[in-house]
Each structure stands twice: as structure tokens, then as C-alpha cells.
Copies of this chain bind each other. A is one copy, B any other.
Amino acid sequence: MKLLKNKKRREVLESSLQQARKDPGSTKAKILMVARRIFGDYGFHGTTTRMIAREVGIDVSTLYYHWGEKGDLYEAVVLDINQDLRKKLIELEGKIRGFPLGKRMEIAIDVMVDYLFSHPEITSVILSRYFLKTRCKTDQNIQLPEYISNIAFSMELSKNRKKVPARSKMQVLAILNAIYTFVSGAEFFQASLGIERGEYVSLVKETLRFVLIPAFDKPTSDARGKREEK
């Protein structure tokens, strides 16, 4: 019964989301957009429905009319963000096809860092979902999005697209999280390093290339071989 209700709720939510994505000018869509940003900035508990409503320029009850409980809106935000990310990654996969792994990573870092910096709420929401508990029963499905596996496959870390070993997923996570933290922490790091935004962004790219590429760009290197068959 409870499961049924949950399923129903999910369906309603998905159709709401679809609706919002179809008409980006609608109030529903505007709420979603603002909610993404504010949930990203302040986290679930740091965000109040009134903050979102005020920013959109509507009454809170209108917000509730469109999205139901706060937890539902948050869930919609998470779903929405994952869809965006998925789309972007598919687009990226097309761009890097054919290049050797090192070059592919270079392009991927460049494209993804630019994209995420222009939508910083994506990384913040993902990160805070990874490791902040929520007092309410939002009870989200703790599950890694499927694109993790796709990346692993497209990086040749797995033979089988459907059955990707945990080790490979972890490697992908290491890469993604490195990017995420630099994007979400931009304000903090930038301020404490005392540098401008442009400089920070290019420094992020440089650092990511420096740290991440060597591990994957040496298919014949002893380091990789050793660890792979361990």
C-alpha cells in the first residue's frame, strides 16, 4: 500500500517534470529552476519554500499547488538535474569518439568543467545528496545514476556496458567527484586562493588534467598493470 502510494507519487512527479521541461516559461518551470539553484546553495534543510517562492515572485501556496510537499520538489530537482547531466554526457560521448583515452579525457574535462560551472547547482545538489542526511522521510532511492556505468564503459574500464565492476565505477566516481568539488567549492577556494574567477576555472582544468590523466593515459604502464590484476 505504501509502496503503491510511493509509485503513484513518483508518476505524478515525473509528469510534472515533463510538463515543466516542455514549457520553460511556465510558473511550474520557473519554480523548478529557482529551486535547483537555492537547494544547491543552501541544501535541503537550509532552503525554505518561502525563499524559493519569494525569488520566483509568487506566493508559497502557488508553489505547493504545483509541486506538493517540499520533499517532492526536491526530488523533482534531483531528477531534473540527473536528466540534464545524462543528456550532456551523451552529447559528450559523441564529441570524444575515436580519440585516444588521454585526449578523450582532456576534452571531457574541458567540456564538463565549462558546463558545470555554468550550472553550479548541479554539482552542489549531487554532492549534498551523496553525504548529507535528511531529517524527513524524503527516502530517495539511494542509487548511482546509470551514466556512471556508461562513462566507465566508454573509458574502456569495463568490457560489458551492463555489468560494470565496482572497481571501475569507483574510478569514475573519483573523477567526477574531483570535478564536482572544484565546481561546488568555487567560491570558497577562489576566495581563499585570492584569484579571479577566470583564473580559477583554468586552474581547475589544469589541475584536473594533471591529476587525472596520467592514471588512465598509460595503458602499458607498470602502475596500471600492477593494480589492474591485483
Binding site for B on A (CB under 8 A): 41-46, 124, 127-135, 142-144, 166-167, 169-171, 173-175, 177-178, 180-182, 184-185, 187-189, 191-195, 199, 203-204, 206-215, 217-218, 221, 223-224, 227, 230
**A120 shortest CB reach to chain B, Å:** 9
C-alpha spacing A124/B210, complex, angstroms: 26
Candidate in A166, A191, A218 with the most chain B CB atoms within 10 angstroms: A166
Q: Identify whether the interface residues of A are mostly helix, strand, loop, or mixed.
A: helix
Which residues of chain B are near A192, meaning CB under 8 Å? 142-144
Q: Does the CB pair A208–B43 fall under 8 Å?
A: no
A211 touches B175 (CB 8 A): yes
Q: Tell me the bound Cα distance from A218 to B189 in angstroms.
A: 27
Write 20 A-B pairs (CB below 8 A) sorted by A numbering. Answer: A43-B43, A43-B45, A44-B46, A45-B46, A46-B133, A46-B134, A130-B184, A131-B181, A166-B193, A166-B194, A171-B207, A173-B181, A175-B211, A181-B181, A210-B215, A211-B211, A214-B215, A214-B218, A214-B221, A214-B223
